[in-house]
Homo-oligomer: A and B are copies of this chain.
């Protein structure tokens, strides 16, 4: 049994093509692959804060700030400064945003179906679980290193 250590390569191909796909499919709504995750999360958790979304997707807070800024500019998302903590804002999907959310959900489902085209439901479920474990290992490793570097200072 030969291993090719090609998991990284395949993940890269999947990721890069997913960007091309989302950019193409979401172009009519003036958003790109970089906003879809954030828009869907705000829809799913009304009132969520920027940092909470960043944590969910293991994104840098700068990346997150820019994605949300774009969604606000486009009028898809509104920001309400938090009364108890004025540093933080609560995010909500606007009326126009709700339509784009629906389209984005369709696009995400379509991409998922393309990826899983030849898989049974059980296989799909298994892939989700294994990829989730893998993503957790990837993130945990990097996060641990960062925290150690930070502690050194």
Please tell me which one of the listed residues B37, B115, B122, B139 contacts residue A138 in the complex, with CB atoms under 8 A apart.
B115
Question: Please, which residues of chain B bring their CB within 8 A of the CB of A5?
Answer: 108-109, 112
Question: Please, which residues of chain B bring their CB within 8 A of the CB of A124?
Answer: 3, 7
**A residues with CB within 8 A of B:** 1, 3-18, 20-21, 24, 37, 57-59, 108-109, 111-112, 114-119, 121-125, 127-128, 130-135, 137-139, 141-142, 145
Whole-angstrom distance between the Cβ of A114 and the nearest chain B Cβ: 5
7 closest Cβ pairs, A-B complex: A10-B131, A15-B15, A13-B135, A17-B138, A10-B135, A5-B112, A11-B14
Please tell me which one of the listed residues B12, B115, B134 contacts residue A115 in the complex, with CB atoms under 8 A apart.
B134
Whole-angstrom distance between the Cβ of A103 and the nearest chain B Cβ: 15
Q: With A1-B122, A11-B14 as known contacts, state yes or no: A117 contacts B131, CB within 8 Å.
A: no
Q: How far is the CA of A116 from the CA of B8 in the complex (A)?
A: 11
Whole-angstrom distance between the Cβ of A79 and the nearest chain B Cβ: 24
Whole-angstrom distance between the Cβ of A66 and the nearest chain B Cβ: 15
Give the residue name and chain of the B residue nearest to A131 (CB). B10
In the bound complex, do residue A11 and residue B121 qualify as a contact, i.e. CB atoms below 8 Å apart?
A: no
Please tell me which one of the listed residues B1, B7, B11, B117 contacts residue A137 in the complex, with CB atoms under 8 A apart.
B117
Whole-angstrom distance between the Cβ of A72 and the nearest chain B Cβ: 22
Question: Please, which residues of chain B bring their CB within 8 A of the CB of A134?
Answer: 10, 14, 115-116, 127
